[in-house]
């Protein structure tokens, strides 16, 4: 068995040795064959998949790695699909962006060559830019598609390739599957045209930032309050990424004059080695450690950190003399509460406004929207589905804001169709200044929201199961939940079960099922009598199954915050035990 696998791998490696690959690549493949058999196996045992979000993988030579040839093949397939979809256009156009990761700029230029070689006009950013600015550029230049080279918050060994459609949102059904089909048709590197046409590549300078920032500034809801609170002290870190210039610029344009950058993490062109962190992920405490230290040293009031491609933001707020990191649901709560409060204060609510959240994001956002008589929409996990709702309702209803528990948020006004940490940083800072104007700290404001609507405590538990047997085990876990669902969770009766794979919502009291008006997806949700929610979802990109806990308690007085928080954590721990996840 192992001999056969080895032969298959060697056969694939020999295709690279004998095909139209450059000598540097061929020498690297020879080195793997002669000296690194295990690495050879990892590099060639499969083809790097172009999934529904694009490519993502470790950089290196081989069919299972991010390199000029896998990037070229993906781009050729995307070119072919664009030509199929827009045959009537005299000139198809795309925009290309890249982040601070090693080789991102190089891969972006490879992709630009392939697009232009296929007769497609390319708007290529001159320097690293946030992913949301790429979304904005697609809409601003009236492109039919676009890509950004990024692996988000993955470790430094990785890079990736996200594909976008003409609305500026990531590709969704049916385009995602159809693009994948076209990419899979590229079986030979000779099918890829790498000979770029420089006449079709237009370099987009940093001046474009001003257009983007100007549009963001139009979202401000409290310019007078910011003028009063302009000295509000903020510490920001781009974590070696693309937010390094543009986030501070956005904050300055909003009127904040006391913004401090974490210099150790703020190189002008980023640093793909991410030298100060194990992972450039704003969800992790360690990634914000330097920023929080600086905030304590200068007595700042708000800490914000963006990931390498600046589409997600993590925040920390004051808790006495210390700082506490908020999770994605808590940050979304404060942001949405501010937006709806200000829209009401400013007399802008007409009854046609809406917010959007993913199904695994806190139900507290639903309660807040209901308070202001603002409609809410639930979508499947993935910001591309939020963008799709915004697209479908454009001109009919007004999008105020939306978010997901994984630290991604967007605030209207239809000019970006992806999560946007630049907009989010500016609006979160504005929300904090608004709270200070009212004489309240952000953490205390969150406690007041809990006291009004209920204390929502969230936790994500991921169970990793690797390999073929792991995939089968994950499938069995989902099957067991469907065939034998629990009746209680944390001592509370389950009153509703939503199965997004069958598309049915079951009321367990009446035993009546109703259809779920969302695309089919392998997700289960259990809603309890006390207002809690547990979601179960296999990851689409990693060998794990995710359990999202959203428990609801009662906070009669904010002085009981710590006590109720501990009680809900104990309840989550108990359910984790009940489900055998420890």
DSSP string, 345-377: HTT---S-EEEEEETTS-THHHHHHHHTT-EEE
- pTM to 2 decimals? 0.95
CA distance 234 to 211: 24
Mean pLDDT of 198-214: 98
> Count of residues for the chain?
582
Output the furthest CA–CA distance in the chain (Å, rounded).
73
Reported as a single tens digit per residue, the pLDDT across 177-197 is: 999 999 999 989 999 999 999
In a domain? residue 445? yes
Overall average pLDDT of the 315-331 stretch: 97
Supply the CATH number for residue 136's domain: 3.40.120.10
CA neighbor of 340 nearest in space, from 453, 457, 454: 453
Torsion of CA 239, 240, 246, 250, to 10 degrees: 20
Q: Exposed, middle or buried, 306 (CB in 10 Å: 0-12/13-18/19+)? A: buried
Q: Which of 309, 290, 308, 310 is nearest to 300 (CA)?
A: 290
Looking at residue 4, its pLDDT comes to 44
Q: At what angle do helices 68-85 and 104-117 cross, to 10 degrees?
A: 40
Strand 512-515 and strand 375-379: the pairing is unpaired
Cα of 342 vs its chain's centroid, Å: 26
CATH number of the domain bearing residue 486: 3.30.310
Q: What is the pLDDT of residue 541?
A: 63
Domain of residue 351, residue span: 216-449
Q: Tell me, yes or no, whether 211 lies in a domain.
A: no
328/378 same-domain check: yes
- Pair 428, 476 in one domain: no
Residue 210 within a domain? no
Q: DSSP readout, 296-360?
A: HHHT-SEEEEE-TTSS-EEEEEEETTEEEE--HHHHHHHHHHHHHHHHHHTT---S-EEEEEETT
The count of other CB atoms within 10 Å of the CB of residue 442 is: 26
Same domain, 424 and 489: no
Q: What integer best gives the mean pLDDT of the chain?
A: 95
CB 369 within 8 A of CB 377: no
pLDDT at 3: 40
- Cα–Cα distance for residue pair 368/336, rounded to 1 Å: 8
Q: Determine, yes or no, domain membership for 57.
A: no
Residues 315 and 331 grouped into a single domain: yes
End-to-end CA distance of the chain: 36
Of the residues 449, 478, 508, which one is the last residue of a structural domain? 449
pLDDT band for position 246 (cuts 50, 70, 90): very high
Instruction: Let me know whether 141 and 187 are in one domain.
Output: yes
Q: Residue 443 is encoded by which pair of tokens?
A: 């953490």
- pLDDT (mean) for 259-284: 96
Residue 54 maps to a domain: no
Q: Which residue has the tokens 């139209």?
A: 20
502 CB-contact burial (10 Å; exposed 0-12 / middle 13-18 / buried 19+): middle
Per cent of the chain over pLDDT 70 is 98
Q: What is the pLDDT of residue 581?
A: 82
Catalytic residues: 152
pLDDT at 471: 81
Residues 281 and 410 in one domain: yes
Q: Are residues 369 and 473 in the same domain?
A: no
Higher pLDDT, 54 or 439: 439
Rounded to whole angstroms, how far apart are CA atoms 449 and 269? 40
Residues 492-547: tens digit of each pLDDT? 999 999 999 999 999 999 999 999 999 999 999 999 999 999 999 998 666 789 99
Over residues 221-241, mean pLDDT? 98
Buried b or exposed e, range 378-397, using 16+ CB within 10 angstroms? bbbbbbbbbbbbbbebeeeb
Task: Note whether 221 and 360 are same-domain residues.
Answer: yes
Per residue in 26-85, pLDDT (tens digit) is 999 999 999 999 999 999 988 998 887 789 999 999 999 999 999 999 999 999 999 999
Residue 292 backbone dihedrals phi, psi, to 5 degrees: -70, -40
Same domain, 397 and 346: yes
Q: How many angstroms separate the CA atoms of 244 and 304, rounded?
A: 12
Residue listed under structure tokens 């194990």: 278
Instruction: Please say which residue of 386, 415, 449 terminates a domain.
Output: 449
Lowest-confidence pick of 52-61, 275-284, 318-327, 388-397? 52-61
What the block records as the tokens of 346 is: 């400013």
Residue 569 domain-assigned (yes or no): yes
Cα 217 to chain centroid, rounded: 22
> Does 110 map to a domain?
yes
pLDDT beyond 50 at 132:
yes
ω into 549 cis (within 30 of 0): no
Cβ neighbourhood burial of 72 (10 Å; 0-12, 13-18, 19+): buried
Give the residue among 362, 546, 521, 416 at the shortest CA–CA distance from 137.
Answer: 416
The per-residue pLDDT for range 380-431, each reduced to its tens digit, is: 999 999 999 999 999 999 999 999 999 999 999 789 999 999 999 999 999 9
CB 79 within 8 A of CB 28: no
- Contact, 387 vs 434, CB < 8 A? no
Q: Are 339 and 410 in contact, with CB atoms under 8 Å apart?
A: no
Q: Which residue, 188, 142, 197, is CA-closest to 165?
A: 142
CA–CA dist 226, 240 (Å, integer): 28
Residues 411 and 464 in one domain: no
Query: Do 439 and 476 lie in a common domain?
Result: no
Report d(CA 58, CA 48) in Å as an integer: 10
Domain boundary among 449, 471, 504: 449
Count of the separate structural domains present in the chain: 4
What is the per-residue DSSP string for 237-258? Answer: E-TTSTHHHHHHHHHHHHT---
Dihedral class, residue 213 (left if φ above 0, else alpha if ψ from -120 to 50, else beta): alpha
pLDDT at 257: 98
Residues 127 and 142 in one domain: yes
Residue 392 inside a domain? The answer is yes
């Amino acid at each position: 068995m192992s001999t056969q696998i080895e032969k298959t791998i060697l056969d694939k490696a020999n295709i690279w040795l004998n095909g139209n690959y450059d000598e540097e690549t061929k020498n690297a493949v020879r080195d793997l064959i002669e000296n690194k058999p295990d690495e050879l196996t990892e590099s060639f045992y499969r083809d790097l998949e172009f999934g529904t979000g694009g490519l993502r993988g470790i950089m290196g030579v081989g069919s299972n790695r991010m390199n000029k040839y896998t990037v070229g093949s993906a781009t050729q397939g995307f070119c072919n699909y664009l030509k199929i979809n827009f045959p009537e256009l005299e000139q198809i156009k795309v925009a290309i962006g890249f982040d601070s990761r090693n080789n991102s700029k190089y891969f972006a230029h490879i992709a630009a060559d392939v697009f232009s070689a296929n007769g497609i006009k390319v708007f290529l950013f001159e320097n690293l830019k946030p992913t949301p600015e790429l979304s904005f550029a697609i809409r601003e230049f009236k492109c039919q598609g676009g890509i950004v080279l990024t692996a988000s918050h993955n470790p430094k060994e990785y890079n990736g390739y996200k594909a976008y459609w003409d609305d500026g949102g990531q590709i969704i059904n049916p385009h995602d599957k159809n693009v994948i089909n076209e990419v899979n048709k590229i079986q030979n590197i000779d099918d890829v045209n790498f000979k770029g046409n420089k006449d079709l590549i237009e370099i987009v300078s940093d001046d474009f930032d001003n257009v983007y920032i100007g549009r963001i500034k139009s979202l401000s809801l409290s310019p007078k309050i910011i003028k009063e609170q302009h000295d509000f002290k903020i510490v920001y870190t781009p974590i070696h990424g693309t937010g390094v210039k543009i986030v501070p610029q956005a904050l300055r344009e909003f009127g904040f004059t006391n913004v401090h950058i974490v210099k150790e993490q703020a190189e002008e062109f980023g640093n793909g080695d991410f030298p100060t962190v194990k992972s450039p992920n704003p969800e992790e405490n360690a990634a914000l450690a330097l920023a929080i230290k600086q905030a304590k040293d200068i007595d700042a009031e708000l800490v914000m950190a963006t990931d390498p491609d600046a589409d997600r933001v993590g925040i920390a707020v004051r808790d006495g003399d210390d700082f506490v990191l908020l999770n994605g649901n808590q940050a979304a709560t404060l942001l949405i509460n501010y937006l709806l409060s200000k829209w009401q204060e400013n007399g802008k609510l007409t009854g046609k406004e809406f917010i959007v959240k993913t199904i695994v994001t806190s139900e507290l956002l639903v309660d807040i929207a209901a308070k202001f008589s603002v409609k809410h929409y639930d979508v499947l996990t993935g910001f591309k589905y939020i963008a799709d709702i915004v697209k479908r309702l454009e001109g009919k209803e007004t999008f105020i804001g939306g978010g997901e528990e994984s630290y991604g948020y967007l605030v209207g006004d239809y000019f970006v169709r992806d999560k946007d940490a630049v907009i989010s940083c500016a609006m979160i800072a504005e929300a904090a200044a608004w709270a200070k104007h009212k004489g309240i700290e952000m953490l205390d404001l969150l406690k007041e929201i809990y006291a009004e609507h209920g204390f929502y405590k969230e936790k994500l538990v991921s169970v990793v199961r690797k390999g073929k047997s792991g995939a089968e085990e994950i499938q069995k876990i989902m099957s067991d939940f469907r065939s034998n669902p629990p009746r209680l969770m944390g001592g509370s009766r389950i009153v509703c079960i939503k199965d997004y794979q069958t598309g049915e919502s079951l009321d367990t009291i009446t035993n009546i099922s109703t259809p779920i008006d969302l695309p089919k997806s392998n997700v289960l949700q259990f809603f309890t009598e006390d207002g809690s929610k547990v979601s179960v979802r296999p990851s689409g990109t990693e060998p794990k199954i995710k359990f999202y806990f959203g428990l609801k308690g009662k906070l009669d007085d904010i002085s009981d915050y710590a006590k109720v928080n501990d009680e809900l954590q104990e309840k989550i721990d108990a359910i984790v035990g009940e489900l055998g996840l420890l």
